[in-house]
Amino acid sequence: MVINADSAQVYRDLRILSARPTKEDMRGIEHRLFGIRDGAQPCSAVDWATDARREIATAHSEGAVPILVGGTGLYIRTLLDGIAPMPPIDPAVREEVRAFKVADAYAALLVEDPERAAALNQADTTRIARALEVVRSTGQPLAYWQAHREGGIGEAIELFPLILLPERERLYERCDLRFTRMIEGGAIEEVEALLARDLHPLTPVMRAIGVPEIASLLRGEQSFDEAIMHGRQATRNYAKRQYTWFRNQPPEQWPRIANENSFKADLFETLFRYLGLT
């Protein structure tokens, strides 16, 4: 059983822009948590981890081995290590904070939670707003709530991790090709359908890579070539951040490979033994 761990591929609305696997890609193998959410329903790391725990338990009960695939590090970390319990945010506070320009929100965060502000990019609208909402709703900074984690299953399962870190230039070339193929495959129509729903611009599905760039094209704010250029750049920028995260954040003992066709004999020997195939 293959279980999705990609934050974009959970949404039904992002079949093309998330490169969600097709039936042909699945080759008759059971795939779970792909395209399960409507774009109007944001899927948090906690939401996904809850779903993933259920699917993993189902796989184990059926004698199957769950294989998690995807590059959303926060999802995987939440599943394995748990997450800090967060209090509900006062709706009035949320509305007030979300109305701020990012520069004003960051200035306020520098005063109310300087430690968190120092750790954030000044243009990171979502994380700045989240930190400001928390401190204003609870009177405590985000770090206070992050000090305790719960719900992780890392100690209860046997894990066979494998991290793909391809050569960077080849990775960036594939990012460019990927975005071009998405345009050819119907990404513009996919974004048209999203815009017709009039979802809030801060909804995760509206911030997915490619959506803002194509939306700008559809609104006449940039040319087709400019949209392609900016979409490719956004893809490369994300790949760079993702590469850095997976190189530095997971435990050092997790195997890293540079070639997607590499064969980790020791890893697969252990997995096959676990499956009773040797």
| pLDDT value of position 147 | 78
Cα distances from 119 to residues 16, 97, 127, 130, 134, in angstroms, run 33, 19, 10, 13, 16
Ordered per-residue pLDDT tens for the chain, 278 residues: 999 999 999 999 999 999 999 999 999 999 999 999 999 999 999 899 999 999 999 999 999 999 999 989 999 999 999 987 777 889 999 999 999 999 999 999 999 999 999 999 999 998 999 999 999 999 999 898 877 778 899 989 989 899 999 999 999 999 999 999 999 999 999 999 999 999 999 899 999 999 999 999 999 999 999 999 999 999 999 999 999 999 999 999 999 888 766 566 666 565 555 555 55
| Of the candidates 244, 217, 243, the residue with the CA atom closest to the CA atom of residue 230 | 217
| Of the candidates 135, 69, 51, 66, the residue with the CA atom closest to the CA atom of residue 96 | 135
Go through the domains of the chain in sequence order and give each one's CATH number. 2-83+151-275 (3.40.50.300), 91-146 (1.10.20.140)
| pLDDT value of position 23 | 93
Backbone torsion region of residue 90, taken as left when φ is above 0, otherwise alpha when ψ lies between -120 and 50, otherwise beta: beta
| pLDDT value of position 114 | 96
